[in-house]
Amino acid sequence: MKYARYAFEEGCWALRETLLELLPEAGRFPTSIDGFTLHRYDHSDTATPHFYDPILIVAVQGKKWVRIGIQDLSFGEHTCFIAGVNMPVTSCLVEATPQQPYLSMSLALDRGLMAELAAKLPPPLEYGADSTVGAAVQGLNPELLDAFLRLLELLDKPDQAKALGELIHREIHYRLLMTPFGHQLRLLNTLGSQSNKIDQAVIWLREHYRETLQVDQLAARLNMAPSTLYKHFKEVTTLSPLQYQKRLRLDEAQRLMLVEHYDVIQAALTVGYESANQFGREYKRLFGAPPRQNVVAIKAGRSA
């Protein structure tokens, strides 16, 4: 047991040293392996609401705070964050300095692969069946640690990266399904389950968020009663369908103003708002400042 613990600590140390060598400066760095991204940040920041696509984030150094619904969590060394559905959260870095930067790796999760593996594998002996929320923080186990170490080693072996990277990518999905949160990942990716229907509802909302939402019509699409849809949607995403749609609209409006340089009225109309005043009130409630002021502050922070 002592040897296993020593090997795990040694692996975490190797992971940290490798990332420090690969990331001499702060930023987000996609790799040659599809969906695999490295992160380094040298300063803490303020809490911001946003969405996580289905993703696994392995924290290596530093700490990040995340709010999922009304639950406040943090993840840092030896822990990871998993989102099995497009998940609304609020998060910020709480431990990050130039001397000890926040270091992490993220891997986009493949719904199709997860569904394929879930259908083939027996369920784990222990799982977190007490929660149906679509995201969680849990400990990093030695098997996942080893898989990520091998994934990092492929970055300087481009001739091997594609073939072996796909195998390790598949292995990581398998390892995730065998963790405590693997039970919820199975439900989200098992056709016909209530959680999978909610995942389908989320996908539909992301494609149609500009439209007026009729919850009874969405429920009918999924062969669910409206009350059942509402109940399970809120359990998985922590928001009602209407609240989720509003978050989608406001998130996209912020992106349009930041990236596409839309003005406030253009952004509001584009994402489905009919009233600029209502848009301004709801934007301020979510992001803490009126749209124009919020965008200016974000741009100033990025250039600092």
The model's pTM is 0.92
Is residue 81 one of the residues assigned to a domain? yes
Does some domain include residue 195? no
SS3 271: coil
* In-domain check, residue 50: yes
Shared domain check, 137 and 63:
yes
Per-residue tokens: 167 = 């195998």
CA–CA separation, 38 and 36 (whole Å): 7
Backbone angles phi, psi at 66, to 5 degrees: -140, 135
Two tokens, residue 199: 């995942």
Query: What count of other Cβ atoms lies within 10 Å of the Cβ of residue 101?
Result: 23
Provide the 10 A C-beta neighbour count for residue 70.
6
CA atoms within 13 A on the CB side of 203: 14
Q: What is the CATH number of the domain that holds 64?
A: 2.60.120.10
**Cα 300 from Cα 78, distance rounded (Å):** 33
Regarding whether 150 and 102 lie in a shared domain, the answer is: yes
Q: Is 168 exposed, middle or buried (0-12, 13-18, 19+ CB in 10 A)?
A: buried
The single residue listed with the structure tokens 């989720």 is 244
Mean pLDDT over residues 31-51, rounded?
A: 94
Q: Alpha-carbon Rg of the chain, whole angstroms?
A: 20
Q: How far apart are CA 96 and CA 44, in angstroms?
A: 5
pLDDT 10s digits, 101-131? 999 999 999 999 999 999 988 765 555 455 6
8-state DSSP, 211: S
Same domain, 175 and 244: no
Phi, psi torsion values for 300, nearest 5 degrees: -65, -40
**One domain for residues 168 and 220:** no
Same domain, 46 and 118: yes
For the chain, percent of residues with pLDDT exceeding 90 = 83
Q: Same structural domain for residues 183 and 232?
A: no
What is the residue range of 219's domain? 213-304
Q: Between these two residues, 57 and 157, which has the higher pLDDT value? A: 57
Residue 6 has pLDDT above 80, yes or no: no
Question: Are 80 and 144 found together in one domain?
Answer: yes
From the number of C-beta atoms within 10 Å of its C-beta (0-12, 13-18, 19+), residue 122 rates as: exposed
Residue 14: which of 146, 160, 194, 208 has the closest Cα? 146
78 Ramachandran zone, left/alpha/beta (phi>0; psi -120 to 50): left
For residue 220 the two structure tokens come to 């009918």
**Rounded average pLDDT over 11-34:** 93
Q: Are 268 and 279 in contact (CB under 8 A)?
A: yes
Query: What is the percent of the chain with per-residue pLDDT over 70, rounded to a whole number?
Result: 94
The alpha helices in 132-240, defined as continuous H runs, are: 142-153, 158-177, 182-188, 194-208, 215-221, 226-237
> Which residues are CB-contacts of 252 (< 8 A; sequence separation ≥ 6)?
209, 270, 271
Where does the pLDDT of residue 238 fall: very low under 50, low under 70, confident under 90, or very high at 90 and above? Answer: very high
Q: Which two tokens stand for residue 144?
A: 């996942």
Q: How many domains does the chain have?
A: 2
Q: For position 303, what pLDDT does the model report? A: 38
Residues 42/93, Cβ–Cβ less than 8 Å: no
Of 135, 154, 188, which one is at a domain's C-terminal end? Answer: 188
**Adjacency order of strands within the sheet including 55-61:** 27-30, 36-41, 102-108, 55-61, 79-83, 135-139
pLDDT at residue 304, rounded to an integer: 34
Strand 87-95 and strand 63-68: the pairing is: antiparallel
Decide which of 128, 154, 188 is a domain's last residue.
188
Q: Which amino acid is at 148?
A: F
Give the CATH number, domain containing residue 250. 1.10.10.60
Assess if residue 205 is contained within a domain. no
